[in-house]
Structure 1
Amino acid sequence: MGIQKIALQASRPFCRQRGFSLIEVSIVTAIVLLLAIIGIPAVGSYVIENKVPKVGEELARFVLQTKVNAPNGSTEPFTGIATTNFANLVRQSSIFSVSGTDATTKVLHGLGRAGEVTVAAADLGAGFAITLTNVNHVACPAIASVMQRVSDTMTVAGTTIKDASTPYSALSTEALCTPGDVNTFVFTAS
């Protein structure tokens, strides 16, 4: 009986194994790569856009804390303010990246590649300025909208977007933002 079974199996045609051909695998790989090429920049923009409220909140907190703690009766309450003051506030933050100490302190904001935050006295110490460099255009109008509540003057790319005679406009701010990680904001408070 065993020999007959083997003979019967030998007389049947070989069953082809089913699988994917090289062409089918190549087509699927090409489609996945195309979707990745299209999707990765969108994901990067989404990540930056989601950081804006947290970055803005920390910057606004620094502005308000600095104003509250300014010496009363002084015409130059912010003389000597520097990036290290901001770095001390956000050093343990998961939002900002702080490196260095004292004069070498560097704070990165994460709203663009190598985007940095600097703080310095303005108007001979009567105010202080927070400068954000290399801000991605996706974050432009949103960070300005958050900061316009606590800033007396604001500029983007050297153009004033808010001061005593210029009311803030999100639309005009968005129009001034250059595509890419190249925008510079200056927020001044007193």
Structure 2
Amino acid sequence: MSRFLHARPGRQQGFTLVEVAIVAAIVLIAAVIGIPAINGYIIENKVPAVGQELHRFIARTKVSGQGLGNTPYTGIGIVQLAHALRSSSVITVAGAGATATVRHGLGATDGRVVLAADTITTSGDAFGLTLDKVNEAACPSLAAVMQRVSERIVINGITVKQPGTGGAAGTYNATGAEAACTSGDTNSFSFTAR
């Protein structure tokens, strides 16, 4: 018989501890590099769906405010937002009434959406949606999606769209929106509509 068919007695075949450690290190490095990129890709792909839900909410709120005078949004808040978005498949609503919490899913797990009366010319003549803790992967594409239905957009305190004068539509500053975005789950957005 050939000497290649039998292993030498006392010698086991397999991987050495050094070989296993090298493979484990390579897998760990690939995971550390790849997981944030995958997370960013997932968040970026959620932006259109979240934007569509917010578009629908804004449209419904505008219709509901018609014929209610100069300040139709006075007193609007989390109750209306939670009620309108409760059946959303991309925005999460927990709780009910004034203690409800609305989460956007575009970054930190505790990133919220808040609704309040806002001002364009008179207090309560507009309403504002604020999103906090938004990941950089959703920024500035979220602003680009929302610029069609928002009269004012503020990202991290920087105004990138201002209402036009005399009822004219304002101009959206895409370059300014990109420059206003920061790294991580640190971005906050304010969208004002009426």
What TM-score comes out, normalization by structure 1 length?
0.87
Q: Which residue does the alignment assign to 2:186?
A: 182
- Select the structure that is richer in helix: 1
For residues 158 and 104 of structure 1, the distance between their equivalents in structure 2, rounded to whole angstroms, comes to: 26
Distance 1:93-1:73 versus aligned 2 partners, 3 A rule: closer
CA 76–13 in structure 1, closer or farther in 2 if over 3 Å, else same: closer
Distance 1:136 1:13 in 2: 57
Partner of 1:62: 57
Cα distance in 2 for residues equivalent to 1:164 and 1:126: 13
Aligned to 1:140: 139
> Helix, strand or coil for the counterpart of 1:95?
coil
CA distance, structure 2, for counterparts of residue 153 and residue 132 of structure 1: 14
State the shift of 1:72 in Å.
1.1
Tell me which of 78, 81, 84 is aligned to 1:83. 78
| 1-structure distance, mates of 2:13, 2:162 | 71
Partner residue in 1 for 2:39: 44
Partner in structure 2 of residue 3 of structure 1: none
Q: Which residue of 2 aligns with 1:149?
A: 148
Supply the distance in 1 between the matched residues of 2:35 and 2:15 (Cα, whole angstroms). 28
**What runs of 5+ residues in structure 1 fail to find an aligned partner?**
1-11
* SS of equivalent to 1:41: helix
Change (3 A) 1:31 1:72: same
- Specify which of 118, 121, 141 is matched with residue 122 of structure 1: 118
Unaligned runs of 5+ in 2: 1-5, 165-169
Return the letter of the residue paired with 1:135: V
Q: How far, CA to CA, are the matches of 1:13 and 1:92 in structure 2?
A: 66
Match of 2:101 in 1: 106
1:162 corresponds to = 161
> How far apart are the structure 2 equivalents of 1:104 and 1:96?
17
**Whole-Å separation in 1 of the counterparts to 2:80 and 2:163:** 27
Corresponding residue for residue 5 of structure 1: none
Check whether the contact 2:53–2:88 (CA below 8 A) recurs between aligned residues: no
Please tell me the residue identity of whatever aligns with 1:153. Answer: R
Aligned equivalents of 2:32, 2:61: Cα separation in 1:
44
Inter-partner Cα distance in structure 2 for 1:73 and 1:117 = 25
Residue in 2 that maps onto 1:14: 8
Q: Quote the RMSD (CA, aligned, Å).
A: 1.7
Local SS of the residue matching 1:125: strand
Distance 1:47 1:112 in 2: 10
Q: TM-score, normalised by structure 2?
A: 0.86
1:173 corresponds to 2:169: no
- Which one has the largest radius of gyration? 1
